[in-house]
A = this chain, B = another copy of it.
């Protein structure tokens, strides 16, 4: 029961991740009632520009506006360590710690037989290509500790065994600042198994 242009606007937001009909309506009315014409124009332009300007880095497959990306082309980064993650947001989360000095490999997904996502649907081949270069000494598997993420890590670790590189998995345990009593069983089991000697 809106006019056609408003309906089109609502529909273009409906279906974005986490946005249903009601949220799409609220966003559409926010744009129409609270945004200036300039702001709306800027928003539209940001979509067009990002879609046109963003590509995949030829090395790490991360989203970037220049290939190779800033991380892959930085002389300060250690090219002998590759951290494998599911998505660009994971690169961002790890970069925000300012601790990791190696490079990345972005899979753009995880294996998920139920959803029909197999090895050829995520960027595993591109990882194998990078390993043909003998400078790589370690691959850290930093996929999420979910069923799909773990399956992906196991699959890749098996695939990499002929290459003779060190393959590691990020640690699982009780998150810093949280309570053991609220941790789930599997996390507690992992935290006990991977206990470390205190020095």
Q: Which residues of A contact B (CB under 8 A)?
A: 1-6, 8-9, 11-13, 16-19, 23, 25-33, 35, 37, 40-54, 63-66, 69-70, 87-89, 91-92, 95-96, 108
Contact = CB atoms under 8 A, between A and B. Distances in A.
Contact of A51 (B2, B32, B50, B89): B32
A32 B1 contact: no
Given A17-B26, A27-B19, A32-B63, A46 B9 contact: yes
A156 B167 CA distance: 70
A43 B47 contact: yes
Given A6-B63, A28-B50, A33-B108, 8 more contacts: A8-B46, A12-B43, A16-B30, A25-B89, A29-B63, A31-B50, A31-B51, A37-B51
Each complex incorporates copies of this chain amounting to 2
A2 B43 contact: no
A49 B17 contact: no
Contacts of A30: 16-17
Contacts of A8: 46, 49-50
